[in-house]
Structure 1
Amino acid sequence: MNCKGQNQTGEKLKPTVITETVVHDTDDPAIWINPKDTSKSIIIGTDKDTDGGLYAFDLQGKIIRKVSGLKRPNNVDIEYGFILNGKSTDIAAVTERETNKVKLYSLPELKEIGEFSVFDGETERGPMGISMYKNPATKEIFAVVGRKSGPKEGYLWQYKLSEKNGAVTGEVVRKFGKYSGLKEIESIAVDDEMGYIYYSDEQFGVHQYYADPAKGNEELSVFGKGDFTSDVEGISIYPTSKKAGYILVSNQQNDTFNVYLRENPAKGRIAEIPVSTLESDGSEVTNVNLGPQFPKGVFVAMSNGRIFHLYDWRIIEKRIQSEIKASKQPK
């Protein structure tokens, strides 16, 4: 379904595309960029239920592929270029909460290529959030996994992916991350280029850590405290250059996205974007030109109604710039 974007001050932005509905409950999207033709890139999204699924949508919102029978899949993320059986393979990693596993699929086929259990030995497991990290120097690929509940220290575990018997598996290499204890931690995002992990402590703020385990477990910052109506949710990172851009974080109960500077998020919120998306849990964004409909990239957000919303980035960018300009006007 195609819709017209609107950017007048005060109005909610309208999605450019709304996907077809899933069966139960959309939760989290990811974006796979087609290297041969970016206009044929794919949105990957989870359908969260005991009989849940993993969906692939084209950029017109049509369902083009589906994996069924997953046991409450929560979040999904993508990384490129894992060497499997001697071949470069793009991977979608999905948390399966009721089995305490991460399941792995090749892209764009969504063929299962491995799995591994998470939080082994813990009394509180229930994996929810996941984000992938590829070390730019070593090319090693990791999965950073969060859970429904956990301790005040070491809430997140980081797994290094490797090949074993022709399949992808993961081995824990780090346990890190502070937790306020207020609600839960679900959304995790990694900025490969800048080398940072961000995660939403739902009624507290956004934590920042180094993504490379070799750099240690020191907390670098917490931002967004006091900026949210209730839950701090989905995190998306839009680069405008190698070291600048925007971090968008879902202000779930306000149906807005708070925007922070990628180069210095601790400086504070620079804009709040009102969207038509309802109570968004998860989101993702890319700055890649995906064709005439999304020439500066697409912002994808989960919405109530068993759907995902796709926004032409130009609509988002125009509103951000408008809010920044308005904030500089004398009052």
Structure 2
Amino acid sequence: MTHPRRTILTLGTVVATLLAAAPAAAQPTATHRDRTATVTTDNETPVLYDDEAGGNASGDDPAIWVHPKDSHRSIVVVTAKEGGLRVYDLRSRELQSLPATEAPRTDPAPGRYNNVDIAYDIRLAGRTVDVAVVSDRYNDQLRFFAIDPGGSAARTPLVEVTAADQRFLFNPDRAAVDEEHTAYGLAVWQPRRGETYAVVTQEGRTTIATVRIVEIAGKLGYTDIRKVVMPGTFALPDGSTWVPCEEPGVLPQFEGVAVDQRSGVLYAAQEDVGLWRLPLPLGSGGRPELVDRVTDFGIHDVYDEASEECVPVDPDAEGFGGPRLTADVEGVDIYYGPGGTGYVIVSSQGDDTFAVYDRQGRNRPVGSFRVRGVRGADDVNGSDGLAVTNRPVGGYRHGLLVTHDEPETGPDVDADRDATNFSYVSWADIAGALSLKVDTRAGNDPRFH
């Protein structure tokens, strides 16, 4: 068992005070509020059903692994919660289905895989491997899956390599883990060769953690847990204090996270609040900034027990939000351009759109888009996780975006079952619709050494 050093920082009070003192600095202008383009997709993965007959498979988060020599062998790895993991090729055909098995620990529980990201060039048992890193909610830990270098041509693209008895990330014992405020969102951070971390969020809380990924007895585990507590209440410019409405016992959580590998900036989506940026390592001195706010930021709601919904105290109230993000704010990833350029892409689940921001400077908003299905594919609704790469992969010669879709609809989908899947969108189409840059050189993405 590892015995990591644990550090907890509290930024909530400081950040909330800064927001009240300087609201304009944290909120981009709305000059692009009406610029919502439409792009199309005709490539989507097979439907997953979240019921017993479907193996309780509910799609959530994708990651794109880029083959270093033959991009056509690249794969897409997605989480299906209690349904485990799925691996697809670039034509969205299923290559592998991995069940959410019990974690390798002395107090095991079956897994629930929530988010996934890719770590490149990890030393393991005397060789260098790429690894899919997965958050396991039911065990409050990370799971690790080595990627076969053959990619889509491999008979078994993923094999688990998780070390035994890894420390719970957010809880002191199994009884606390069973309350399910556990490992949730996830992103990999590789600041330099030979050094790999994971950023992990906590379900139902405002805590964000980082851990260092290390080899343990020929497997992969983690150590050096560091945590920061982000704000859950906000002082507003009108003098009131705003607490985002949640279910009883739940705080405004984060899920979607992505790390700018070159600058060390973490982008984190607080679902009912907005998009944050904060420097890594946690506690390094820079303060978090709220890049953009959800449309109903600052509107006071109350939780209605009967409907299990939040309803506004004053239906005519105007808040302090922005025009681009409608709660929940979900998936986040980065398209790398030359130098410090590129884009941060965020899924605005509440209105089925995706907001795009400049990667550099103050993350100026540059537009939004929605995804329409063609030739048998359906429109993308309620997107949760997303992944993007600037690298050519298969027929996507200018890069690829993969996004979760819920509910999945269409003539071949059973409308009486909870259906999800994932859609593939050409970056060339997104770039053309919003006049964005396209740059596919490997050196512009620091994840590729």
> Which structure is higher in strand share?
1
Deviation at 1:101, TM superposition (A): 1.8
Deviation at 1:177, TM superposition (A): 4.8
2 CA distance for matches of 1:217 and 1:279? 36
Query: What's the counterpart of residue 193 of structure 1?
Result: 262
Within-5 A mapping of 1:9-20: 12-20=38-46
Within-5 A mapping of 1:156-175: 156-175=208-227
Letter matched to residue 36 of structure 1: K
1 CA distance for matches of 2:182 and 2:266? 20
Which range moves more in the overlay, 113-122 or 204-213? 113-122
1:178 equivalent in alignment to 2:230: yes
8 Å Cα contact 2:257-2:333 kept in structure 1: no
8 Å Cα contact 1:205-1:224 kept in structure 2: yes
SS in 1 for 2:39: coil
Query: What's the counterpart of residue 145 of structure 1?
Result: 200
Deviation at 1:39, TM superposition (A): 1.5
Within-5 A mapping of 1:285-300: 285-291=388-394, 293-300=395-402
8 Å Cα contact 1:157-1:172 kept in structure 2: no
Deviation at 1:274, TM superposition (A): 1.6
SS in 2 for 1:314: helix
8 Å Cα contact 1:247-1:265 kept in structure 2: no
2 CA distance for matches of 1:164 and 1:256? 42
1 CA distance for matches of 2:285 and 2:114? 25
Query: What's the counterpart of residue 248 of structure 1?
Result: 345
Judged with a 3 Å threshold, the aligned counterparts in structure 2 of structure 1 residues 16 and 242 are, in CA distance, closer, same or farther, namely farther
Q: Which of 148, 155, 160 lines up with 1:112 in the alignment?
A: 160
2 CA distance for matches of 1:243 and 1:11? 25
8 Å Cα contact 1:232-1:251 kept in structure 2: yes
- Structure 2: gaps (5+ residues): 1-34, 49-53, 102-110, 149-156, 234-243, 245-251, 294-321, 372-378, 409-419, 437-449
Give the greater-gyration-radius structure (CA).
Answer: 2
SS in 2 for 1:301: strand
Within-5 A mapping of 1:1-331: 12-22=38-48, 23=54, 24-49=57-82, 52-70=83-101, 71-108=111-148, 109-115=157-163, 116=166, 117-121=168-172, 125-136=181-192, 139-151=194-206, 155-180=207-232, 182=244, 183-213=252-282, 216=284, 218-225=286-293, 226=322, 227-267=324-364, 269-275=365-371, 276-291=379-394, 293-304=395-406, 305=408, 306-321=420-435
8 Å Cα contact 1:197-1:208 kept in structure 2: yes
2 CA distance for matches of 1:125 and 1:28? 19
2 CA distance for matches of 1:179 and 1:76? 25
How many corresponding residue pairs?
A: 305
Letter matched to residue 397 of structure 2: P
Query: Bigger relative contact order, structure 1 or 2, given CA contacts below 8 A and separation 6+?
Result: 2
SS in 2 for 1:114: coil
- Structure 1: gaps (5+ residues): 1-8, 323-331
Deviation at 1:217, TM superposition (A): 5.0
1 CA distance for matches of 2:327 and 2:47? 27
2 CA distance for matches of 1:110 and 1:312? 25
Letter matched to residue 13 of structure 1: V
**Percent identity of equivalent pairs:** 28
Deviation at 1:11, TM superposition (A): 6.5
SS in 1 for 2:259: strand
SS in 2 for 1:316: helix
Considering only aligned residues, what root-mean-square deviation do their CA atoms show, in Å? 2.0
